[in-house]
């Protein structure tokens, strides 16, 4: 079933590329990329909130002098280097960074949806949204399993 679903998705994008061009396919790909980032950030937010709630220090925050944490926003990096002692400050900065990243991704998704809406018919947009919903739900399940069950 998975391979037939992938084949249908491939044929959908091939149809879009053949009829509307590579530009529209790239916009769809970017939309999926940003939606996946939103899912990852939401899981990250849940994890950080759980750490704060249960007063658990994540392993990657223990040896901060050895590791670099990859922040999405430049302000988060500056704040993080200023407060290397406080666990609460560090987690709040990381939480803030995830929220900022989510906001940016949502704005990009809305922008891309607006572009796609102007270039494609409602039927094609609905078909894509249905396929995207199924794909992103399975992506969410995989990410949740990786993050919370291991």
Q: List pLDDT tens digits, range 72-131.
A: 777 777 666 655 556 677 788 889 999 999 999 999 999 999 999 999 999 999 999 999
Domain ranges within the chain, ordered by starting residue: 2-148
Q: How many CA atoms lie within 13 A of 78 on its CB side?
A: 3
What three-state secondary structure class fits 150? coil
pTM here is 0.78
Asked whether the beta carbons of 107 and 37 are under 8 A apart, the reply is: no
Reference 128, options 28, 34, 30, 39; nearest CA is: 28
């Amino acid at each position: 079933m998975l391979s037939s679903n992938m084949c249908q998705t491939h044929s959908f994008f091939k149809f879009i590329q053949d009829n509307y061009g590579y530009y529209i396919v790239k916009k769809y790909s970017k939309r999926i990329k940003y939606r996946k980032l939103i899912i990852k950030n939401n899981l990250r937010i849940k994890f950080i909130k759980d750490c704060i709630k249960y007063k658990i220090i994540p392993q990657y925050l223990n040896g901060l002098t050895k590791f670099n944490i990859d922040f999405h926003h430049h302000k988060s990096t500056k704040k993080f280097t200023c407060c290397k002692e406080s666990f609460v400050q560090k987690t709040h900065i990381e939480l803030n960074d995830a929220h900022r990243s989510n906001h940016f991704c949502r704005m990009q998704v809305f922008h891309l949806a607006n572009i796609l809406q102007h270039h494609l018919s409602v039927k094609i947009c609905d078909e894509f949204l249905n396929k995207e919903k199924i794909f992103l739900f399975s992506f969410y399940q995989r990410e949740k399993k990786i993050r919370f069950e291991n």
